[in-house]
Amino acid sequence: MASERLTTVLDELRAEEADLQERLESLRVELKCGEAQLTQVRKALTSLKDKSSNGTNAKRTATREEVIEAMREVIRERGTVSETDLKRLVEERISAQGRSRVGLLMRMRSALKEAQFVRRGNVFGLGVEAESDESERETAN
């Protein structure tokens, strides 16, 4: 009788051991899957952080109207400005506003074709029409 009970207890313990080993193996597989998913998420986070820190998709680009306004302000402050200085000063102004410089030179080239910007030799100024618009705004204020 004692040996039968001992055999029963041994069988139960062996079954328990087998169940635990099976469960442990299942948990190991689940852990590996979880670690793989965590690695993928960390890679994605790193990739997105790198993009936002170097400016990609982090800042809104300046609109054509914002570029034109920055150009007008620079020329109003300086009178006439060389193209090189105009580009540099507008770029600084746009950057200070927290805008991306992507496409800025293209927008400037397009804006410089407008009648309000007049080329005099190697410098740019505001045309008569743009200056009179400005005078009207100042007297209205």
Average pLDDT, the chain: 83
Query: What is the pLDDT, as a whole number, of residue 92?
Result: 93
Query: Which residues are within 8 A (CB) of 103 and not within 5 positions of it... i.e. 6 or more apart?
Result: 61, 62
Per-residue pLDDT averaged across 60-68, rounded?
Answer: 90
Q: pLDDT digits over 104-122, tens only?
A: 889 998 888 888 889 888 8
Cα separation of 128 and 133, whole Å?
9
Q: pLDDT digits over 9-58, tens only?
A: 999 999 999 999 999 999 998 989 888 888 888 888 887 776 655 555 56
Phi, psi of 117 (to 5 degrees): -105, 120
Cα separation of 11 and 2, whole Å?
14
